[in-house]
Amino acid sequence: MNAFQEKLNDTIEKLDRLLTQQQLKNSFEQNKKLIESTKEEKSKSWWQKLFKG
């Protein structure tokens, strides 16, 4: 492989790692929000859930 191909491969691998890290971060944040909203729902009694409107 020549130097250009190696540099291109390195760049693609770096971009792939950054994308993967960002996806993991977003997934973690979404899971955290889901857990928090579930905790809020659990803290309400059944009649508050029934008449929340």
pLDDT value of position 21: 96
Residue entry with tokens 């889901």: 34
pLDDT given for residue 41 in this prediction: 67
- Report the pLDDT value the prediction gives residue 37, as an integer from 0 to 100: 81
pLDDT tens sequence across 1-53:
799 999 999 999 999 999 999 999 999 999 999 888 887 667 777 777 778 75
What is the domain count for the chain? 1
Domain interval for residue 35? 3-50
